[in-house]
Amino acid sequence: MEPVAADLTGAGPTSRASHLLLVLPATLFVLVVFALPVAWLLSRSVSDPAWGLDNFRTVLREPVYLGLMRNTVQISVATTVLCVLLGYPVAHVMATCPRLTRLLTFVVLVPFWSSVLVRTFAWMVLLQNNGLINRALLGSGLVRQPIEMIFNRTGVLIGMVQVLLPFVIFPLYGSIRAIDPALMPAAACMGATPARAFLRVQLPLTIPGLTTGATLVFVLSLGYFVTPALLGGRRDVVIARMIQMEIGQFGDWGVAAALSLVLLVATLSLLGFSRLLVRRGRPT
């Protein structure tokens, strides 16, 4: 315990060494268990089964892989758009109506803390052909045949949007709350219609939160596979699921590594780009 305190004084010759000493165990752990193995995995994209770029040729040329990248991007774009459209009103009410803030925070936190598998499973129970919704519809005579809501794109999107909504709601909530509460009434005072006030005042001010939230949703959906695997059709395979299958079922580490690298580069560049945008948008 000695070094910690010495260090928090911010002075003394032992300070620097004690900083490093405290950070070292976690760093070594992350380095050995995470960073090096991930690097090892990625290196196999050029070394497995033979040295060269064959794996990337496979991944970037063969229709199977191009198809699953297209699936992944389509699903991610749709999920992001839906999350923003549904999440904005929630974040808005959460930030502007103090009475509902606590309740809504709770409503968003509960799914945020619960297992993705359980939440996806709940949709299976509801959406299956002999699931609750179809039974209710058939029982009431509204439809003759069950509606196909699962094992297709619809099912994937219903599940993904529910899983990822909190990631757009929380950053948006933060940026709406940061707006000066006098601004919107001021706009109204000066004759702006509510729609105009929203478009010209609130929306521009919440762009950073929106960018952060949307990027987060997009990036997370790029790497998801639980929900698409359970709610999607057999053909609707996504990158992450393919990586898992390449390793678990086919033992093809080279292709799995190449796909991992593609996914990682896409994720990191999107995150970097969004950070740049948010930082730029911020007044200095």
Q: Give residues 38-57 in contact with another protein (rule: CB under 8 A).
A: 38-42
Residue 203 C-beta: closest distance to another protein, Å: 13
- Measured distance CA(104)–CA(122) in Å, rounded: 21
- Decide whether 19 or 153 has the Cβ nearer to another protein: 19
- Measured distance CA(237)–CA(246) in Å, rounded: 12
- Decide whether 111 or 233 has the Cβ nearer to another protein: 111
Q: Give residues 196-215 in contact with another protein (rule: CB under 8 A).
A: 198, 212, 215
Residue 86 C-beta: closest distance to another protein, Å: 5
Q: Give residues 102-161 in contact with another protein (rule: CB under 8 A).
A: 104, 106-119, 121-126, 128, 130-132, 135-136
222 binds another protein (CB under 8 A): yes
- Measured distance CA(6)–CA(247) in Å, rounded: 48
Alpha-carbon dihedral sign for residues 29, 34, 35, 39? positive
Residue 102 C-beta: closest distance to another protein, Å: 10
264 binds another protein (CB under 8 A): yes
- Decide whether 26 or 50 has the Cβ nearer to another protein: 26
- Decide whether 53 or 193 has the Cβ nearer to another protein: 193
The number of residues that bind another protein (CB under 8 A) is 106
Considering only 225, 232, 255, 258, the residue that binds another protein (CB under 8 A) is 225
SS3 state of residue 13: coil
276 binds another protein (CB under 8 A): no
Considering only 52, 89, 181, 204, the residue that binds another protein (CB under 8 A) is 89
271 binds another protein (CB under 8 A): yes
- Measured distance CA(136)–CA(143) in Å, rounded: 10
Q: What is the 3-state secondary structure (H, E, C) of 36-99?
A: HHHHHHHHHHHHCCCCCCHHHHHHHHCHHHHHHHHHHHHHHHHHHHHHHHHHHHHHHHHHHCHH
Q: Name the packing angle between helices 132-139 and 116-127 (round to 10°).
A: 20
Burial degree of 282 (CB within 10 A; 0-12, 13-18, 19+): exposed
Residue 121 C-beta: closest distance to another protein, Å: 5
Tell me which DSSP letter residue 199 carries.
I
Contact stretch for another protein (CB under 8 A) within 49-57, 65-73, 148-156, 218-226? 218-226
CB atoms under 10 Å from CB of 11, counted, come to: 9
SS3 state of residue 271: helix
- Measured distance CA(240)–CA(236) in Å, rounded: 12
73 binds another protein (CB under 8 A): no
Considering only 19, 78, 154, 233, the residue that binds another protein (CB under 8 A) is 19
263 binds another protein (CB under 8 A): yes
Contact stretch for another protein (CB under 8 A) within 4-12, 51-59, 68-76, 141-149? 4-12
75 binds another protein (CB under 8 A): no
- Decide whether 31 or 53 has the Cβ nearer to another protein: 31
- Measured distance CA(239)–CA(51) in Å, rounded: 23
